[in-house]
Amino acid sequence: MINPLTLIAVIILYIGCLFAVALWVERKGSRGRKWANSPVVYTLSLAIYCTAWTYYGSVGNATKSGLMFLALYLGPTLSVLLWWTVLRKLVRIKKLYHITSIADFISARYDKSSAIAALATMIALIGTTPYIALQLKSIFSAVGIIKAPELLATGSVDRFTSDLIVILLIFLTISFGVRRLDSSERHQGMVTILALESVVKLVAFLAVGIFVTYGLFDGFSDIFVRLSKSSHSYLMSFGGKEEAPYIPWTSTLIFSMCVVVFLPHQFHVAVVENPDENHIRTAMWMFPLYMLLITLFTFPVGIGGLLKGLPISGADGFALVLPLRFGPSWLTVLTFIGGFSAATGMIMVCSMTLSTMMTNHLLLPLIGNNERLSFLKRHLLKCRWVAVGAVISLGYWFERQAGNSYALTSIGLVSFAAMLQFAPPILGGIFWRGGNKAGALSGLGAGFLVWFYTMFLPSLIKSGWLPTTLLESGPFGIALLRPEQLFGLSGFAPVSHTFFWSMAFNISFFVLGSLYFEQSKTERSIAGEFVDVLSGDSVMNRPIQGEADINLEEKCEEAELVLCQYIDKKKAKESCLKCLRAVGIYEKQWIYASELFDFHNMIERELAGFVGAASAREAIKRGMSLSSKESKEISEVYAEILADLNVTPADLRRTVDFYQEREVLLNSHFTELEEKVRERDTQINERVQVEEALRGSEQFLGSIIDFLPDATYVIDHAGTVISWNRAMETLTGIVAGDMLGKGDYAYSKAFYGTNRPMLIDLVADPIKAYIEGGYEGLGMTPEGLLYEEIHVPNFKGQDAYFMATAARLYDQHGNQAGAIESIRVITERKKAEKALKVAHDSLELTVEERTKALRDAKEHAETANKAKSVFLSHMSHELRTPLNAILGYSRLMQRDNTISPEQREHLGTINRSGEHLLSLINDVLEISRIEAQRIHIETTEFDLGAVISDVYAMFRLKAAAKNLQFILDGMQDLPRYVLTDEGKLRQILINLIGNAIKFTEEGGIAVRASLRGNSTSDKWLLLEVEDTGPGIANEELEKVFQAFEQTASGRQVVGGTGLGMPISRKFARMLGGDITLSSTVGKGSVFRVDLPIMEGTKTDIPGEKTVTQKRVMGLAPGQAVPRILVAEDVMESRALLVKLLQMTGFDVREAVNGLEAVEIASEWHPHFIWMDIRMPVMDGMEAARRIKGSSWGEKIGIAALTASGLLEDRDSIMTAGFDEFVRKPFLEQEIFDIMRKHLGLVYLYDNESEETVSQEANSGFSAQQMRKAMTPELRNELLSAVIALDTNQAIKAVEKIAITDPFVGKVLMQLALDLDYDHLLRLVEEAD
């Protein structure tokens, strides 16, 4: 089953291919290459004789009448024997008279009669219509079979499909056959298509035949044997069941002899489209051979179908059905295409030639008789298109009406019989001089009427259009007039019957009419020309008579006017010039009458090519008449010729015309040759110019290559050197003359001393060069250029390096034409690269060494830093441990009320010294931690105003003691709560204010606080501490912030480590701000602190309460005595803490190392453990870890005691499981507070000890003691001295106090001697 869509696609593709071929051929033809002029193409175009009737109909015929169908092809084969005479004659006449169709031919022969032309056209139209219908029917049936194979007998298509096919055929015909007006011109594209279609249908039918004969059966003999045994054995004859088959056989033989040329479309391809008479020679054997081949398998296919059980009613479709049912799909498609080709070829040519006949012989005479239609003369081409549509549509209509009543063979025979009517007038016209217009007209008419009556009318009756009584009884019941038994002739097949009677009438009337009526002079003349067209042996020169006094310009205008009636002005002018050249009067101004006569004839022939001979004759008669003088001169010329030659006028005319034609042909040939010579000259000139341009281009290119600074050479595709530039000469020392033209790698010898491939060869011939090898370091640029770095150890005796770049060269067609290589010397560069590499290696080594040294240095530094940290830690520990003991014992001893005041004074001195030492240690450790970046910011939210006020209060008395004005300003503008590191801010303020008071002797200190910045995220706290001190020189401003540096003024003041300002600045910077200083010597300094702060959200901060520090005297009664374990390796420290705790009432045990602590704790289960970190055997961290990791020690509180001054140790210590962290030296209060917190203890306090820790720590005696020791007078005296910084006065006052209380006096004396006015002032104020 074939998909209809596939079929449509194949058809479209096939038609597309035909279009493409036609266009290609016509385009080539327009350039002088006329492919369609081939004798093979001519012969194949004749094969349109084998239409769908042959393709499908003959198969059907074979199943009914055996080999009878062969008569249709044997007849033409016999007629071919006469073609060299008959067909050649027709072709010759066609060329002489510009014949456009068979009707035109008959008309031209018989005095260019319009009536005969019109009658012949009518006969052709009516007679051909059934034939076109036959072709259409075959296409529709084939499509129907493909669509519905089961409906074999009635294969047909729907109306839409058939309409579409018809439209397609009209389009094809107009496209290829009716594209221009001059019908006598050849249609190369269409002829080529016909030839192609003939090949396709032959191949297709042979394929089907071979498939059936050898695929479905075992060859011819098998088919014949089977046939002889079947019920169809009667088909093995030339007539089937016919009783007297020789009658239809013979009649078919005869009329097929005629119609092979006289069918309108056959006449067109055989005569009108003939480009060369000699092609007939090829056609004479090739055309019969074609017919033999295409019919060879017709009989086997038909019989095969019957033997395969296919119904005989569908025999016309056997050729398609057999491959469809039993064969591959491609064979079915091929068969369909073959049938399609057979049908379309005939339809195209037939409708085309009929359209020409209709316009020339029906329409134009009508226009001539009706002026209102004259406008159509200028639209003849369009009229032909309409005629094409009308012809095909008429055939389509006939197919719809009568198609189903007849088999293909029957329809074809109807047409053949009609076309047979052309045989007598044509053959009589070219062989019998006596045949004339009257005879032809009457013969044609009679024959056509008989055909119509005996064949066409019965077909209409059989189609049901007319009553059958006419067929059975004859008109008016006259049996003798029965259409198929005319005059009682019975026993004949309808075709034979029509053939007999139509020919009898036609020939009879033709002969009798010609004999009865006399020929006109012109007719006689033309008859002679037709009969003797192949003869004509004498040559004569026409004598010139009279004078050349006819104005050619006027005659040309007349001619153009006549031509313009049918064609456009441009074409008319061209035709006129063509005639002038043909006659030989081009460029003449005045001509002879005889030349005018020739010109008239030429114009008439030219016009005949457009409108036919009859219409052309009429047009010339109307538009280009001769004057009486001109006629007379012409008569005289011919009379003289006749007299000289003693020949008849007809002979003379024939001879003249013959040689005129020869002259025209020769002139044409000459013109063509001239044109070719001109073209050749042009080509030669162009070639010379191209070669010159090429040479110039080569020279130009050569100059460019020569100019290149790099050594460059070029080879051609054979490897021969064709360019060797100057740089190459310089490099190699070989001049171009010695190298050009050399091959076989000769160029490489200059480099390697031997012939071997170079880079250029790799691009020129990659495979060969690659095989021979020798390439290293190849690379390719992004543009595709190949490059290679070449090392030649011995180039001119030296080590040399080259950079070669090579590329292919292409010609204008894209073919490889050679290659180019450029060579650059890079020896110096390579040397530099080598040196650079050595330097680079050396540098790398150096860098590596330096890096290693730096790494070592860094490691050393880190080790040193670590050692420093360890040292500081150890030092801190080692210093704090004794300090812890010193301070602790001194304080412990102070608790003893039994000691003397003097001893208490000594203890106070020890305590203060210890604390001073501790402060120094703390400062050193602080700066050390800052430098090691071990200080962390601890942001908290706090009351800013409270902090500033606290610090201010701290120094207020001190400032007063020095009699300095101390102002705090801007507090009202500050937010209450801020987020920053409170401790560091406090430290900064203490340092700055303390420093200012320290260095200011008169004037005052102003502390100003303000806030800048609007957004909450960008607020800055600005604190200014301004003093009226000695000021600092500009060059010393930075020294203020450098550790261990002192300014000139600083050196004058005793005390201090010089670390306060550096620590403050570093703190400020850690907080994101800075401290700046502006100072004027002698006027004072201003320290500005800028710190970014964030405004807090709290409204109140809980827990801020004043802790009243009272001295713990013991445990409150009613509590169980807590068990406290003290683990400390240093005996002094351990004893101090143990004593303190025991004095307070705790049950204390001690351990000297961690392991012992663990053991005691596991046995004794203390409530709280004080654990030193650094201990022998087991350190405190491990001990704490073990205790906390045990089941019994999990809830025991453990506090770490460490002398390490490094805060970062706290984190690592706490992770070991400690609950608290206390740094040595510890404060009693810390110890007791921690234990109260963890054990919930209640202490007994000494009420008299209610004083600040600082007071106690600083002075060693209480404020109460102070008040007792001095009278108010003494106190005021001392206060005045302190504020006035009058040391002498202060000493005097103290000496008076010492009389009352020597201990207090001694302490104050020491302060006065130490110039510690701050302390003195604070003590005095506290005592107030």
Nearest to another protein of 603, 1206 (CB atom): 603
Nearest to another protein of 235, 619 (CB atom): 235
Q: Which of 973, 946, 979 is nearest to 1096 (CA)?
A: 979
β-partners of residue 807 are 820
Residue 576 Cβ, how far from another protein at the closest point, in Å? 14
Torsion (CA) 843, 845, 851, 853 in degrees, nearest 10: -120
Nearest to another protein of 34, 1296 (CB atom): 34
Nearest to another protein of 67, 420 (CB atom): 67
- Alpha-carbon distance of 1128 to 1180, in angstroms, equals 9
Residue 74 Cβ, how far from another protein at the closest point, in Å? 5
Nearest to another protein of 536, 1003 (CB atom): 536
Say which amino acid occupies 360: N
Residue 79 Cβ, how far from another protein at the closest point, in Å? 8
Kindly write down the DSSP assignment for every residue of 556-616, as one continuous string.
HHHHHHHHHTTS-HHHHHHHHHHHHHHHT-TT-SEE-HHHHHHHHHHHHHHHHHHH-HHHH
Residues in the chain: 1328
Nearest to another protein of 669, 695 (CB atom): 669
Q: Which of 81, 183, 114, 105 is nearest to 533 (CA)?
A: 105
Residue 223 Cβ, how far from another protein at the closest point, in Å? 9
- Alpha-carbon distance of 269 to 176, in angstroms, equals 14
User: Would you tell me how many other CB atoms lie within 10 Å of the CB of residue 467?
Assistant: 10
Which H helix or E strand runs over 977? strand 977-980
Q: Are 87 and 330 in contact (CB under 8 A)?
A: no
Nearest to another protein of 279, 984 (CB atom): 279
Nearest to another protein of 409, 1204 (CB atom): 409
Residue 372 Cβ, how far from another protein at the closest point, in Å? 32
Residue 162 Cβ, how far from another protein at the closest point, in Å? 31
Residue 420 Cβ, how far from another protein at the closest point, in Å? 17
Residue 665 Cβ, how far from another protein at the closest point, in Å? 6
- What interhelical angle do 569-583 and 649-707 show, nearest 10? 110
Residue 31 Cβ, how far from another protein at the closest point, in Å? 9
Nearest to another protein of 282, 1076 (CB atom): 282
Residue 672 Cβ, how far from another protein at the closest point, in Å? 6
Nearest to another protein of 26, 943 (CB atom): 26
Q: Which of 421, 6, 392 is nearest to 178 (CA)?
A: 392
Q: What are phi and psi of 670, to 5 degrees?
A: -65, -45
User: Would you tell me how many other CB atoms lie within 10 Å of the CB of residue 985?
Assistant: 25
Nearest to another protein of 29, 584 (CB atom): 29
User: Going by C-beta distance under 8 Å and a sequence separation of 6 or more, which residues neighbour residue 775?
Assistant: 759, 762, 769, 788
- Alpha-carbon distance of 378 to 364, in angstroms, equals 11
Residue 533 Cβ, how far from another protein at the closest point, in Å? 10
Inter-CA distances, 470 with 401, 414, 458, 465, 466, Å: 20, 19, 9, 12, 8
Residue 282 Cβ, how far from another protein at the closest point, in Å? 7
Go through 1061-1070 and write b for each residue having 16 or more CB atoms within 10 A of its CB, e for each that does not.
Answer: bbbbbbbbee
Nearest to another protein of 232, 929 (CB atom): 232
Three-class secondary structure assignment of 288-312: HHHHHHHHHCHHHHHHHHHHCCCCH
User: Going by C-beta distance under 8 Å and a sequence separation of 6 or more, which residues neighbour residue 130?
Assistant: 395, 398, 402, 411, 412, 414, 415, 456, 459
Residue 619 Cβ, how far from another protein at the closest point, in Å? 20
Residue 228 Cβ, how far from another protein at the closest point, in Å? 6
Residue 579 Cβ, how far from another protein at the closest point, in Å? 11
Nearest to another protein of 34, 956 (CB atom): 34
Ramachandran class of 555: left when φ > 0, alpha when ψ lies in -120 to 50, beta otherwise: alpha
Peptide linkage before 649 cis (omega within 30 of 0): no
Q: Which of 231, 238, 217 is nearest to 304 (CA)?
A: 217
Nearest to another protein of 183, 894 (CB atom): 183
Residue 298 Cβ, how far from another protein at the closest point, in Å? 11
- Alpha-carbon distance of 620 to 559, in angstroms, equals 8
User: Going by C-beta distance under 8 Å and a sequence separation of 6 or more, which residues neighbour residue 27?
Assistant: none
Q: Which residue's entry shows tokens 């002979």?
A: 651
Nearest to another protein of 275, 1302 (CB atom): 275
Straight-line distance from the first to the last Cα atom of the chain, in angstroms, rounded to the nearest whole number: 131
Nearest to another protein of 437, 497 (CB atom): 497
> Can you state the percent helix, strand and coil of the chain, rounding each to 5?
65, 10, 25
- Alpha-carbon distance of 79 to 76, in angstroms, equals 5
Sheet holding 816-825, edge to edge: 721-724, 711-716, 816-825, 798-810, 786-795, 778-780
Nearest to another protein of 78, 740 (CB atom): 78
| Cα angle: 191, vertex 197, 202; to 5 degrees | 130
Residue 301 Cβ, how far from another protein at the closest point, in Å? 13
Residue 492 Cβ, how far from another protein at the closest point, in Å? 14
Nearest to another protein of 577, 1131 (CB atom): 577
β-pair type (1197-1202, 1220-1223): parallel
